[in-house]
Amino acid sequence: MAVRVLFCIYLLLVYSPLAALLAAAGPLSLDLSARRVALLGHTALYAGAVSALAVMIGVPAATFLRRRTRLSERTLVTVLVALVALPPYVHALAWNRILSPAAAFSGGAPAAVFCHAMALVPLSVLLSLLAFDAIPRELMDAARIFQSGTSIFRRVLLPLAWPTICAGAAILFLLAAVDYVVPSLFSVPAYSLEIHAEFSAGGSMAGALGAATPVACLCGMVLAISLSTLRRAALAARSGSNVLRDCPNAMPKYWILCEWMAAGLVAAHLIVPLTVLGSSLSAPSRAAASVAAAAGDLVFSGLIAVAVAAVGVPAAYGMARALAQSRRFESALWLVALLPAALPAPLAGVGLIALWHRPGIDLLYGTPAMVVLAALARVLPFGALILTMALRRTDPLLEDAATVFEPSRARGWFRVRLPLVAPALGATAIFLAALSLGELGATLLVIPPGAQTLTLRIYNYLHYGESQAVGGLCLLMALLTAALGAAASASVWRRS
């Protein structure tokens, strides 16, 4: 019953802005001109290329981190999530500055694909780690009896991890398809720009929603195509361990080469933005002044992130349980869970205003709660997906035993289920908090006057060209996310 309530809360948080928007917008105007169709196709190719490149880097990087480093899961998650929180635009700008002297990277699709993929690499590595960590040791041990050397990797490890890797690729596709800021930096046309242009020119919600419908359908198609892998990822074997570390000879030579190249790129991903941001701190006093001026924004952003995690994790759990246990209408449920992520952020913000700025129910309007609601509407689909995959690591036999032997459901929940799922909940909380820190489009529409998030301030300074301030604030953002991650993981992993 409680899980059903949480499921309904998920639907309310994610779909209520869209419902209010549809009610306020009136009849949609769909305009599928040849130009828009060509643009949509171009966006699909672009997003596919970004996703594919990010996966090609993320998967070998994940196997490298597991096989050749002694970094704990807690450390890896904390560092990777801290990088996820940095706006992709900051990554893209940093890479653009480094690479632009080379003619091939001064602009155009190849440069855009590379820089955008590099911005998404931390997420790709995170998802790939989830994929390999879910492989049960028993299967690995059995494979070592019957297979040897590189066959284990090609015929056992990779196929078992493949569903989750594909699910991750679908998420990366979605993120790349709805972003226009990074492609615009390299003069690459993106369909999302068309939506903003439509919104800006006419101010019509119906027109903007109509313009957004094709890209939402595109993302829906990609999710539908990857649904089989998403389901397999969710329903795959449940317990896992670091099987990669025990197979030092399991990798083909070409894969070892890929691992080292990917590791180099991930290291570059860490070094490039930090170096560019750090070099912009040539005037430390200016950076320090901007950080001091942003102290209030830092506290506000931190509180928002904590609230998003606190409210979002239970809601995501409700949807994750439904996804893991559904037998009827599975495909529809997956689409329901994930499709709202394709809605442009400003439209979600307008929907929230239409929903909450009414006489009699405007208790929340004008308060920071609106920023929490905006962030939840945007990040919950990703949280549900991450939690669904993370919950695979819990042993269902223990849950069944709790159902049988515990005298009450509540005791069974607190004594068995909650400790079992705590690591998964903790990882999702960190992820939701990190994503909410970077939310911009919907936040701008609903932020209370007088308040500001760190991301809003960073984008403002980016525009002004205050690179010292941007450097200081971005490093502050990364530290905040790392601190949130470390605090949550210290609490969760110690008790798991």
Partner 1 sequence: MMKCLKNMLRPILRTLAATAVLFFSAGCVSQTHREVVVYVAVDQVHAEPVLKSFENSSGIRVRAVYDVEASKTTGLVQRLIAEKQRPVADVFWNGEFVQTVHLMRRNVVASYAPCGGRARVLLYRPSAVPNSKLPRSLSELASTGLPPARIGLALPLFGSSATHAAALYASLGAPGARALYQALANRGFRIVDGNSVVRDLVAGGQLDLGVTDSDDACGALERHPELRIAPLDDAVVIPQTVAIVAGAPHPDMAGQLSKYLTGREAQRALMASGFVQLLQEDPAFRAACVAALPVPANPPALESVADQFEAGQADLRELFVRTR
User: For residues 169-198, which are near partner 1 according to CB under 8 A?
Assistant: 181, 184-185, 187, 189, 193-194, 196-198
d(CA 136, CA 243): 8
Site mask for partner 1 (CB under 8 A), range 8-37, x = bound: ---------------------------x--
Which residues, 328 to 367, sit near partner 1 by CB under 8 A?
A: 346, 349-350, 353-354, 357-359, 362-367
Helix (H, G, I), strand (E, B) or coil at 491: helix
d(CA 486, CA 264): 25
d(CA 444, CA 439): 9
Q: Which residue shows structure tokens 């939690």?
A: 387
Work out how close the CB of 228 gets to partner 1 at its nearest, in angstroms, rounded to a whole number: 31
Candidates 70-78, 168-176, 380-388, 452-460 — which segment interacts with partner 1 by CB under 8 A? 452-460
The residues, ordered by sequence, that sit 6+ positions from 309 with a Cβ below 8 Å of its Cβ are 429, 430, 432, 433, 436, 484, 488
Work out how close the CB of 333 gets to partner 1 at its nearest, in angstroms, rounded to a whole number: 29
d(CA 89, CA 181): 7
Which residues, 302 to 321, sit near partner 1 by CB under 8 A?
A: 303, 306-307, 310
Q: Output helix, strand, coil percentages for the chain, rounded to the nearest 5.
A: 80, 0, 20
Which residues, 286 to 305, sit near partner 1 by CB under 8 A?
A: 303
d(CA 317, CA 148): 40
Pick from 158, 217, 288, 451 the residue near partner 1 by CB under 8 A.
Answer: 451
Query: Does the footprint of partner 1 cover residue 136 (CB under 8 A)?
Result: no
Which residues, 360 to 419, sit near partner 1 by CB under 8 A?
A: 362-369, 372, 414-415, 418-419
Which residues, 236 to 265, sit near partner 1 by CB under 8 A?
A: none
d(CA 351, CA 49): 32
Contact (CB, 8 A) for 463 and 185: no
Pick from 72, 151, 325, 491 the residue near partner 1 by CB under 8 A.
Answer: 491
- Nearer CB in complex with partner 1: 210/349: 349
Pick from 203, 248, 360, 407 the residue near partner 1 by CB under 8 A.
Answer: 203
Work out how close the CB of 185 gets to partner 1 at its nearest, in angstroms, rounded to a whole number: 6
Q: Which helix (H) or strand (E) holds 147?
A: none
- Nearer CB in complex with partner 1: 7/46: 46
Q: Look up residue 27 and give its DSSP letter.
A: S
